[in-house]
Structure 1
Amino acid sequence: MTSKSVATALTLYRSRTLTLEQAATVGGCSTAQLEESARAFDPVPAEHAADD
């Protein structure tokens, strides 16, 4: 699992090109690791950013 492969997997998942499971396979990690990485890259969901 490299940061580049995880970033690519996250991009494909967020664009709804891949499912979470498929993106984890592309990223070379588990779905839990991919979800954790997603939170690290975007810790505050966009719909809640305006609440700050």
Structure 2
Amino acid sequence: MYTHGLNTAMTLYRNGTLTLSQAASRAGRSTDAFATALVRHGITVREKQAGSRTAEGSVRAD
């Protein structure tokens, strides 16, 4: 069930339905952990995270 929630949150984030913080909350992860999961799955992180170094270096400019 946890994986299903993560996949659902990633899909909703990728489609623009949820913000980064909303999707992270839905997935049951911190914003940083969720951003890391997005990058690992090839999904571009749209929002910049204040004070975060987890995804900043990995964000792609498509």
When normalised by structure 2's length, the TM-score is 0.62
Moved over 3 A (4+): none
Q: Which has the higher contact order (CA 8 A, sep 6+)?
A: 1
- Give the helix-richer structure, 1 or 2: 1
One-letter code of the match for 1:2? Y
2:55 is aligned to: none
SS of match in other structure, 1:17: coil
Q: Can you give the 5+ residue segments of structure 2 that lack an aligned partner in the other structure? A: 44-59
Counterparts of 2:35 and 2:3 in 1: how far apart (Å)? 14
Matched, 1:15 2:20: no
When normalised by structure 1's length, the TM-score is 0.72
Q: Can you give the 5+ residue segments of structure 1 that lack an aligned partner in the other structure? A: 48-52
CA RMSD of aligned residues (A): 2.1
Q: Identity, % of aligned pairs? A: 38
Equivalenced residue count is: 46
